[in-house]
Amino acid sequence: MATARATMASLKEWRGGRDATWKIVPSATGAAKAVEKGIPAPNGRLAGMAFRVPTPNVSVVDLTARLEKPAAYEQLRAATNAAAEGKPNGLLGRTEAEVVSTDMNGVAPMSVFAVKAGIYLNDRFAKLASWCDDGTGYSHKVLALVAHTSAH
């Protein structure tokens, strides 16, 4: 898994502080570990790295998946649609539009699967792309948690 993430001031690496607004900076990411906390099935088989890029906000995840069972790309699309419509609501989204990073600024879901950005390599390998506006997505989830907590 590779992520292209917006540049931020909190980069702790020396390389990250070298005028990152004009450069692409390879960086570590905790995204793979975070995914495994939410979806334990990969169990140590997911690795990731990040590239900090000169974009103001939105990030993208490029996930290369080796499938356990053969599947057509339509089946993958159907699975992402079911996940986007399932519980918990608002966690995942999907779009059929041909979007770029600025189109995804301010979207509420934590991650939005971009159907037309994926690449179907064969019935065992696929590359999936998913966009996220970390600040907005996180804020919406905090507000949902506060609303849920106050209702109970």
Domains, the chain, in order of start with CATH, read 1-56 (no CATH), 57-152 (3.30.360.10)
* Tokens encoding 149: 């907590």
DSSP H helical ranges for 48-123: 73-85
List phi, psi (to 5°) of 75. Answer: -70, -40
pLDDT tens, the chain, 152 aa long: 787 877 665 556 655 555 556 778 887 777 777 666 766 666 667 778 888 888 878 889 898 888 989 999 889 889 888 888 877 667 788 999 999 988 999 888 888 999 999 898 999 999 989 998 877 877 877 887 788 788 87
Tell me if 116 sits within 8 A of 124, measured CB to CB: no
Q: Mention every residue, 6+ apart, whose C-beta is less than 8 A from residue 94.
A: 80, 81, 84, 112, 113, 114, 115
User: pTM of this prediction?
Assistant: 0.76
- 3-class SS at 34? helix
- 3-class SS at 146? helix
Distances (CA, A) of 55 to 7, 91, 152: 7, 23, 40
